[in-house]
């Protein structure tokens, strides 16, 4: 057998062109034989330019008949791409019809020379955690025990109301680390990451984990990356940018609140962190947790196919933790309280708020829209009020202020309805700011605060106060809220989107989970709706099964595979026309995006999803080579409407 070292490096060149989505062979000079290794970064000459590239493998020979150029130099600090991450990156690129170079760009952070000079630290030991609070869940203790034994249990976990989910994930990470394996935990946003970071410090001890997110800046992020790569820590937590982080001997992957759109990468090929982590679990033989207060149909499909086990709260644990949920909106409610159909705060909600404040507990109101009055219409004929300059929707920014255009910012000092000529307007939607103003008048002497995406409150102190929040940014209360009021639920339920009910339940459950066990949650919706029933019974698994069955009947994701093609008018249709007949792809659309752009959906059977992605990737490469107009390809788009 020839024991001579490999002389050719198969590299992925850092270039976004689809036609370059392949490996290129380069000769390894004798002087670099000891430095060029799989996973290291190198500089190469490509098409007359000096480009960076990543070495994917070393070969003894090459099939390329032309001249083989040499590797110019290696880029410190040596191999930065592990074999497991490299395999996952290839799978992700193939699944999403993307370029390997784009996926590697998501995996490898910007290099910082100063960080590379820091002396590595020895990894610290982690003690096995207490299993006590996982006992509240069916299969919970068995999951942690199997994890500690080095096995690969997989669960779809729904937390009970009030659960310290970050502590439970930290305990799972500790079980993996105590068994000598690594853990990778991904959450939707920086707020969740800060909570998880604190829990990991508490459970693991200091200096036993790192966090990775865009918010921390390039230098700290690269430091965390190197610590994980070198095995200085076994546990990595982060937002979706951490989904391809290197973890030594990966034994656990976990994603929290997988229905949150923040878990979808904004960069091509737009992978979802949940699916990336599932891929890594398969490749590494790792355990997996897909967790949340609610449950997505995608997570339910993992249970239905036997890939994972459902871990939900025992009935006694649910009864002890869940607040009373009261719906308002059916005929009986209207008969008992006729004003509830028009009142901003129905009587039941008013009484729940007053009782909580009398008990010196805070009250949370969840309002779907931020701002003062986000949408207005004519007082007389109800025609939507539009900007006379650009036809954008008008809104109010405060009391006694003229309407302002949402699109161009023009102030309409002389508003007049184009249909009836009236100069008076009415509110279509009440925003969080206006709600806070109304409540301050209704409850004199009670502090009213607002939490929204731009001015988020992480937590509130003890005591009576009213918090008005938009979905997803509700602050935690030390003893829980005495009352949680879910207002304007129609704004979520009537959205013309496939995920409208699923998303409504997710944001409602996340809010109600902040309620104290003896508190009251009021939802201004018909109690007969399945989504409201799921909230009342705290049974997201039941609702996820309903959603999955309905989507199977209608041929929607995740039962079927979809691809969205967005580009200049007519271009997406050209791609669809050339698809192989054996795919049995159904084209839906095209749907106009604007005057010059359209969106076409392609639907195939789930088992043909990989073949569709491969065909679309090839089509993108051919179009790029021919310098045709670009068409954006998204596999498993979040929205198909």
Structure tokens given for 356: 């909580």
Helix, strand, coil: what percent of the chain each, to 5?
35, 25, 40
In Å, how far from its chain's centre is CA 482? 29
Peptide bond just before 438 cis, omega within 30 deg: no
Whole-number Cα distances in Å, 465 to 436, 485, 520, 524, 584: 11, 14, 16, 21, 58
288 is in an annotated binding site: no
**Helical spans, DSSP H, in 230-346:** 273-284, 297-304, 315-321, 331-336
**DSSP letter for each residue of 355-420:** HHHHTT--EEEE-S--SSBSEEEETTT-PBPB-TTT-PBEEB-STT---EETTT--B-TT---TTT
- Taking the C-alpha atoms of residue 605 and residue 584, their distance in angstroms, rounded to an integer, is 8
Structure tokens given for 44: 């190469």
Closest CA to 360 of 463, 258, 433: 463
40 is in an annotated binding site: no
Number of other CB atoms surrounding residue 588 within 10 Å: 14
Helix (H) or strand (E) holding 126: none
402-405-411-412 Cα dihedral, nearest 10 degrees: -70
Structure tokens given for 529: 């709706």
Helix (H) or strand (E) holding 35: none
Number of other CB atoms surrounding residue 305 within 10 Å: 8
- Taking the C-alpha atoms of residue 506 and residue 295, their distance in angstroms, rounded to an integer, is 8
636: left (phi over 0), alpha (psi -120 to 50) or beta: left
Coil vs helix vs strand at 1: coil
- Taking the C-alpha atoms of residue 165 and residue 136, their distance in angstroms, rounded to an integer, is 13
Terminal CA-CA length for the chain: 59
- Taking the C-alpha atoms of residue 371 and residue 453, their distance in angstroms, rounded to an integer, is 11
- Taking the C-alpha atoms of residue 263 and residue 56, their distance in angstroms, rounded to an integer, is 27
Hey, CA dihedral for 105, 107, 110, 114, is it positive or negative?
Answer: negative
Whole-number Cα distances in Å, 597 to 215, 587, 592, 593, 620: 33, 17, 6, 5, 17
HSE-up (13 A, CA, CB side) for residue 515 = 33
Whole-number Cα distances in Å, 172 to 131, 169, 201, 299: 9, 5, 13, 19
Closest CA to 14 of 64, 61, 66, 56: 56
Coil vs helix vs strand at 261: helix
12 is in an annotated binding site: no
Structure tokens given for 123: 């990894």
Helix (H) or strand (E) holding 184: strand 182-186
Q: Which residues are annotated as a binding site?
A: 378, 381, 387, 390, 405, 408, 417, 420
Q: Which residues are annotated as a binding site for Zn(2+)?
A: 378, 381, 387, 390, 405, 408, 417, 420
């Amino acid at each position: 057998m020839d024991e001579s070292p490999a002389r050719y490096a198969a590299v992925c060149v850092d270039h976004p062109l689809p036609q370059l989505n392949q490996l290129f062979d380069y000769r390894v000079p004798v002087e670099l034989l000891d430095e060029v290794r799989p996973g290291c970064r190198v500089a190469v000459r490509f098409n007359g330019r000096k480009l960076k590239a990543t070495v994917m493998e070393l070969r003894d020979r090459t099939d390329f008949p032309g001249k083989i150029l040499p590797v110019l130099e290696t880029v410190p600090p040596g191999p930065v791409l592990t074999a497991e991450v490299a395999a996952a990156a290839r799978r992700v690129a193939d699944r999403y019809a993307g370029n390997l170079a784009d996926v590697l760009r998501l995996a490898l952070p910007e290099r910082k020379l100063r960080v590379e000079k820091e002396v590595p630290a020895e990894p610290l030991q982690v003690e096995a955690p207490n299993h006590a609070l996982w006992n509240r869940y069916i299969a919970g203790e068995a999951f942690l025990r199997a994890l500690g034994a080095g096995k690969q249990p997989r669960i779809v976990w729904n937390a009970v109301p009030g659960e310290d989910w970050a502590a439970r994930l930290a305990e799972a990470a500790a079980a993996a680390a105590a068994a000598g394996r690594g853990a990778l935990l991904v959450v939707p946003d920086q707020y969740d990451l800060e909570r998880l970071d604190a829990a990991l410090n508490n459970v693991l001890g200091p200096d036993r984990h790192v966090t990775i997110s865009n918010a921390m800046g390039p230098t700290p992020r690269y430091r965390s990356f190197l610590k994980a790569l070198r095995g200085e820590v076994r546990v990595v937590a982060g937002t979706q940018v951490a989904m391809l982080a290197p973890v030594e001997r990966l034994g656990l992957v976990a994603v929290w609140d997988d229905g949150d759109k923040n878990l979808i990468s904004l960069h091509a090929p737009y992978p979802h962190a949940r699916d990336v982590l599932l891929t890594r679990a398969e490749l590494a033989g790792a355990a997996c947790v897909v967790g949340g207060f609610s449950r997505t149909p995608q997570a339910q499909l993992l249970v239905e196919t036997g890939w994972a086990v459902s871990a939900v709260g025992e009935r006694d644990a649910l009864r002890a933790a869940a607040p009373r949920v009261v719906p308002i909106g059916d005929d009986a409610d209207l008969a008992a309280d006729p004003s509830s159909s028009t009142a901003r705060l129905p009587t039941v909600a008013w009484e729940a708020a007053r009782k909580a404040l009398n008990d010196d507990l805070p009250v949370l109101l969840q309002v779907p829209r931020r701002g003062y009055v986000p949408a207005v219409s004519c007082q007389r004929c109800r025609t939507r009020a539009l900007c006379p300059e650009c036809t954008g929707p008008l809104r109010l920014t405060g009391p006694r202020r003229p309407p302002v255009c949402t699109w161009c910012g023009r102030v309409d000092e002389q508003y007049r309805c184009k249909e009836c000529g009236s100069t008076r307007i009415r509110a279509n939607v009440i925003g969080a700011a206006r709600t806070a103003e109304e409540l301050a008048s209704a409850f004199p002497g009670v502090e009213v605060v607002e939490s929204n995406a731009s001015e988020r409150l992480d937590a509130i102190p003890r005591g009576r106060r009213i918090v008005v929040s938009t979905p997803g940014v509700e602050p935690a209360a030390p003893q829980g809220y005495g009352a949680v009021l879910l207002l304007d639920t129609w704004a979520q339920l009537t959205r013309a989107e496939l995920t409208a009910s699923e998303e409504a339940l997710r944001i409602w459950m996340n809010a109600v989970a902040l309620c104290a066990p003896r508190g009251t949650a009021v939802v201004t919706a018909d109690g007969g709706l399945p989504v409201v029933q799921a909230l009342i019974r705290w049974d997201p698994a039941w609702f996820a099964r309903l959603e999955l069955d309905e989507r199977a009947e209608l041929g929607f994701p995740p039962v079927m595979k979809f691809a969205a093609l967005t580009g200049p008018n007519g271009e997406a249709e050209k791609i669809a026309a050339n698809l192989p007949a054996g795919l049995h792809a159904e084209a839906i659309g095209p749907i106009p995006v604007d005057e010059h752009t359209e969106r076409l959906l392609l639907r195939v059977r789930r088992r043909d999803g990989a073949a569709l992605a491969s065909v679309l990737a090839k089509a993108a490469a051919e179009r790029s080579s021919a310098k045709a107009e670009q068409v954006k390809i998204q596999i498993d788009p979040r929205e198909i409407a």
